[in-house]
Structure 1
Amino acid sequence: MNKLYRSRTNSRLTGLCGGLAEWMGFSPTFIRLAVVFAALCSFGTVLLIYFIASLIIPKEPYGNYDFHNPYHNY
């Protein structure tokens, strides 16, 4: 079972969307668009949850690179 981490390699703001995308096997762009859409529809509640999750979910350890995952950026 994969463990959820914030991504070091696929990070824009905190790496949370990149980490979720790696964990679920989706495109990071799809996750980011879904978060932006949900934030607009929820009047910012999703942004609060996003930043709380960014504080709770740990950063990906160094050397934990998966060469079989096509969503990692170099």
Structure 2
Amino acid sequence: MSKKLYRSKRDVMVCGVCGGIAEYFDIDPTIVRLIAVALILSWGTGLFAYLIGAVIIPKNPYQ
């Protein structure tokens, strides 16, 4: 069975994008959130990427 990227339903702060990425790569979601905040504050592209992820990445149907 292959791994699929889903937005998390358990580890949600805004839309579950960072939680889903953390589950996919099996890392701490805090690290993913810190990277996302750094990208948002430095270039502003992080916010655009997060919004795109919130629209494109489906919710996890198994949680």
Length-normalised TM-score, structure 2:
0.92
After superposition, the CA RMSD in angstroms is: 0.9
Map residues 16-27 of structure 1 onto 2, 5 A cutoff. 16-27=17-28
Mapped pair 1:12 → 2:50 = no
Runs of 4+ in 1 over 6 A off after TM superposition: none
Q: Give runs of aligned pairs for residues 1-74 of structure 1, distance below 5 A.
A: 1-42=2-43, 44-61=44-61, 64-65=62-63
How far off is 1:9 after superposition? 0.4
Greater helix share, 1 or 2?
A: 2
Hey, what's the Cα distance between the residues in 2 that align with 1:3 and 1:49?
18
Aligned residues: 62
* Per-residue deviation, 1:48: 0.9
Task: Look at both structures and tell me which one has the larger radius of gyration over its CA atoms.
Answer: 1
% identical aligned pairs: 44
Name structure 2 gaps, 5 residues minimum.
none
**Cα distance in 1 between the residues matched to 2:12 and 2:57:** 14
Q: TM-score, normalised by structure 1?
A: 0.79
